Every structure is written in structure tokens, then in C-alpha cells.
């Protein structure tokens, strides 16, 4: 396929609402990213500022509107700014990985070629959809970074079957970076990966399959998927203030469901039935979740035997994946950013591993943002204990951009450097 290339965002050009997704502003510190249609309950198009404010352009009180190619922004002092789209060079293309055609888009800041500009490939999390012009891509491009975003196999315009097999996904990411290097030849310097969430398992593994200058990870884990489930269960037990006996039962539940996962539902049914009988009608058994253990606990034995593997083990996940071993094989600098209150990916074990790697002298930069949950989002706690995300925490997006550019300096919101800086 011959790549399609065009320049987008020339000042004065008109477009019908909605606005074309991209960065709108005057420079790397004065812009807003306008995305696709905002998810409910937000209305209008998604917007995202560098400081993490986000929402829908038609939300009541939204600080920005975007109509006919112009973003109108009212700042905290009441000053009104009218921003046009920042010009970008966007190249649609496709590439092959494991005999599968995948599609993607290279987004580059417009202007003269800059052989020092970083090039980053965005590596997927576990989501089934990710537009090639994802809002994260334009957020980094507006900070002066070239970005290649691709549709995961089995999603968007990419062929193949959706999977969460880290080995195959790492091959895809490595192929994406090799392809992006060819597309941007002569127009970049440093090149590497950024992965969020599940991408924290995939991006470092991909970096062992093609030369890279950096790997950045946000809200990912350096433990196996089985250990992630256990950590979530124990976090929930602590939040529910369960007694020692109940916590021991939660631990036992984790060990038994791990056996089912490791054996791909060949062993562990009898043991889980014993756990069910031991727990009985304990109130916490109706609420405990983890990644999968809570659902298994509440399924009838006959149903779990009949459909358990199709329900829980149908995506080729490597349940005992050794994430620490992969990090030990890396030579490139690594950025790892943690959300302190992450319920989906509890950080305690990951923090210990990162500290151990740093103590050994490996090039690991680790940051922790307090009062944030998965996705680096700040939140409010509801009466029932659930959380509602409000915004991406201030400092995270700028830290990500600056670190990729090799220009980290000063403080980034409430972010804390763990163990000092390399």
C-alpha cells in the first residue's frame, strides 16, 4: 500500500463542525487537543489540555469550544484565545507483522525536517479499539514529538484476530516501529515505545526485538497477570477491613483460581468448589472482584466447567509472564510512571521491582503521582466507595513528553521521583 500523506491545519482553512482532531494552539505549552466525539455523559468532542483537564466541548462550563476549525478557549483569568489547528504531516500506511496486515498513522509536527525529533510508537493497552488518531498521539505531537499509532490486530482497519498474547503483540509493536522508522527516515533522532496499562507488558518485550533508544510506561505492572489478580483481591480485602480469617480465604481463592488459569482449566475445579463451601454466604463473597477470581467464585461448578475457559481464558494471555526478566534484558533507558491509588493495577510489587532494578544501576526513572487511579486520573470517592475519574493528573502528560525528548527538568505537578534521578 502506498502511504497517503497530507498536511493538516493550515491557518485560515475552513472545515465544517466537528473540528478535525488534533492540537489547537500556538506552541508546545499553549494548546488543547481536540479529539473525536466525547463518550457519554460528556457531549461534543473530547478535549484534553496539557495539564490534564479533559471533557467534552459541549459540556456545561467547558473552557473550550471548537467550531469551524477554531478552538475558543477562556483561561482562568477570563482571557479569550482563538486557536487554529497546529499544522501536522499525517501519513496513513500499513505494514505486515506475522503475515498480518496492520494499519497505522504517522503524525509529525509540520515544518522543516528535524533529525533530532523523537519518534515514539504508541503500544496498546487491553482495549479492543484505538483510533489511529488517538488523543494521546496528538498530545505528544503538539509537544514536538513524531508519533506512530496503529490499530491493534483485529481492531480498526487491521487484520487478524484480537488477542492479548504478549509475544505476538510485541512482534506487532516491533514491526510498527521498524515501519515508522522507514516512513520518517531523515526526520527523527531518538526512537522508542510508549505503552500504557497492558502496554507496560508489551512495550518492554517489543524493545527486546528491535533496537530502541527508550521505553516509557504509564500505569503498568512488573508482575504477572496472576499476581495482578491476587493484588487486586488483597487490596479489596484491606479496603473492606476483612479479618485475618477472611483474608486467608481470599489468599486461598487466589491460589486456586491461579491453578485453573495456569492449566487452562484442566485442573482446579474440585479445589475451587471446596473454597466455595468454606466461604459459604460470607457477605464479602458477593463483592470481591480481582481480575477474574470473584466471578469464578460466584459461578456454579457445572457452569465453570462448561464455559469457564471460553469466558476467562480465550485471549492467549501468558498468565505467568515474567515481566521482571524482560526488564532485566533491556539496555535502553526506561521511564515508569505509577498511580499511587491504582485499583486496577495495584503498584506495591511493581514499586519493589523498580527499586531493585535502580539499586542495581539500571537506567530506570520512576515517578509516583499521589491521589491518582488507573490511567493517571484524579478521582472523587462516591458514597458507596466507588470512584469517579475527574481529570488526568497535572504534570503527567508534560513529564511524558519531556522525558521522551530527553529534557526532564523541574517538578511535574505532584509527581514524586522514586529513588532519585539517573
Smallest Cα–Cα separation from 92: which of 132, 33, 152?
Answer: 132
pLDDT of residue 77: 86
Residue-wise pLDDT tens digits, 146-163: 999 999 999 999 999 999
Q: How far apart are CA 169 and CA 100, in angstroms?
A: 12
pLDDT of residue 104: 95
Sign of CA dihedral 286, 289, 294, 295: positive
Decide if 50 contacts 139 (C-beta within 8 A). Answer: yes
pLDDT of residue 8: 53
* Model pTM score: 0.92
pLDDT of residue 422: 52
Q: How far apart are CA 135 and CA 397, in angstroms?
A: 12
Decide if 88 contacts 141 (C-beta within 8 A). Answer: yes
Which stretches in the chain have pLDDT values below 70? 1-17, 130-133, 420-422
pLDDT of residue 128: 80
CB half-sphere exposure, 413, CA atoms < 13 A: 24
Q: How far apart are CA 395 and CA 414, in angstroms?
A: 7
Sign of CA dihedral 179, 180, 181, 184: positive
pLDDT of residue 14: 38
pLDDT of residue 311: 97
pLDDT of residue 5: 44
Q: How far apart are CA 323 and CA 334, in angstroms?
A: 14
Q: How far apart are CA 268 and CA 255, in angstroms?
A: 10
Decide if 364 contacts 357 (C-beta within 8 A). Answer: yes
Q: Determine the angle formed by the axes of helices 225-239 and 244-262, rounding to 10 degrees.
A: 160
Smallest Cα–Cα separation from 173: which of 121, 125, 220?
Answer: 121
pLDDT of residue 202: 97
Q: How far is CA 331 from CA 101, 174, 199, 212, in A?
A: 30, 16, 18, 9
Q: How far apart are CA 87 and CA 100, in angstroms?
A: 32
Residue-wise pLDDT tens digits, 211-250: 999 999 999 999 999 999 999 999 999 999 999 999 999 9
Amino acid at each position: 500500500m502506498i502511504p497517503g500523506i497530507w498536511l493538516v491545519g493550515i491557518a485560515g482553512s475552513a472545515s465544517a463542525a466537528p473540528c478535525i482532531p488534533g492540537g489547537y494552539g500556538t506552541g508546545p505549552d499553549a494548546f488543547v487537543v481536540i479529539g473525536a466525539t466525547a463518550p457519554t455523559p460528556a457531549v461534543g468532542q473530547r478535549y484534553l489540555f496539557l495539564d490534564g483537564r479533559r471533557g467534552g466541548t459541549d459540556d456545561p462550563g467547558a473552557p473550550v469550544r471548537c467550531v469551524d476549525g477554531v478552538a475558543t478557549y477562556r483561561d482562568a483569568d477570563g482571557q479569550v484565545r482563538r486557536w487554529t489547528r497546529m499544522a501536522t504531516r499525517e501519513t496513513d500506511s500499513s505494514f505486515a507483522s506475522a503475515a498480518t496486515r496492520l494499519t497505522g498513522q504517522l503524525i509529525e509536527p509540520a515544518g522543516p525536517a528535524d533529525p533530532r525529533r523523537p519518534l515514539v510508537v504508541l503500544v496498546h493497552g487491553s482495549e479492543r479499539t484505538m483510533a489511529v488518531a488517538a488523543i494521546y498521539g496528538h498530545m505528544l505531537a503538539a509537544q514536538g514529538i513524531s508519533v506512530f499509532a496503529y490499530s491493534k490486530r483485529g481492531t480498526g482497519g487491521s487484520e487478524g484476530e484480537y488477542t492479548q498474547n504478549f509475544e505476538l503483540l510485541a512482534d506487532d509493536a516491533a514491526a510498527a516501529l521498524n515501519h515508522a522508522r522507514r516512513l520518517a527516515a531523515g526526520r527523527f533522532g531518538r526512537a522508542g515505545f510508549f505503552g500504557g496499562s497492558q502496554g507496560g507488558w508489551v512495550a518492554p518485550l517489543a524493545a527486546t526485538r528491535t533496537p530502541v533508544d527508550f521505553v516509557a510506561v504509564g500505569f503498568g505492572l512488573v508482575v504477572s497477570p496472576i499476581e495482578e489478580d491476587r493484588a487486586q483481591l488483597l487490596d479489596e480485602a484491606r479496603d473492606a477491613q476483612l479479618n485475618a480469617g477472611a483474608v486467608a480465604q481470599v489468599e486461598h481463592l487466589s491460589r486456586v483460581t491461579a491453578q485453573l488459569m495456569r492449566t487452562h482449566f484442566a485442573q482446579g475445579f474440585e479445589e475451587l468448589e471446596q473454597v466455595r463451601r468454606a466461604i459459604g454466604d460470607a457477605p464479602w463473597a458477593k463483592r470481591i472482584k480481582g481480575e477474574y477470581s470473584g466471578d469464578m467464585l460466584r459461578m456454579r461448578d457445572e457452569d465453570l466447567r462448561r464455559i469457564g475457559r471460553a469466558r476467562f481464558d480465550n485471549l492467549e494471555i501468558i498468565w505467568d509472564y515474567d515481566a521482571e526478566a524482560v526488564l532485566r534484558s533491556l539496555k535502553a533507558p526506561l521511564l515508569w510512571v505509577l498511580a499511587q491509588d491504582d485499583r486496577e493495577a495495584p503498584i506495591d510489587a511493581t514499586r519493589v521491582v523498580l527499586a531493585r532494578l535502580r539499586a542495581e544501576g539500571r537506567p530506570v526513572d520512576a515517578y509516583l503521582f499521589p491521589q491518582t487511579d488507573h490511567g493517571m486520573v484524579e478521582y472523587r470517592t462516591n458514597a458507596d466507595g466507588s470512584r469517579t475519574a475527574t481529570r488526568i493528573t497535572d504534570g503527567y502528560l508534560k513529564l511524558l513528553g519531556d522525558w521522551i525528548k530527553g529534557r526532564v527538568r523541574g517538578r511535574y505537578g505532584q509527581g514524586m521521583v522514586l529513588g532519585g534521578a539517573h
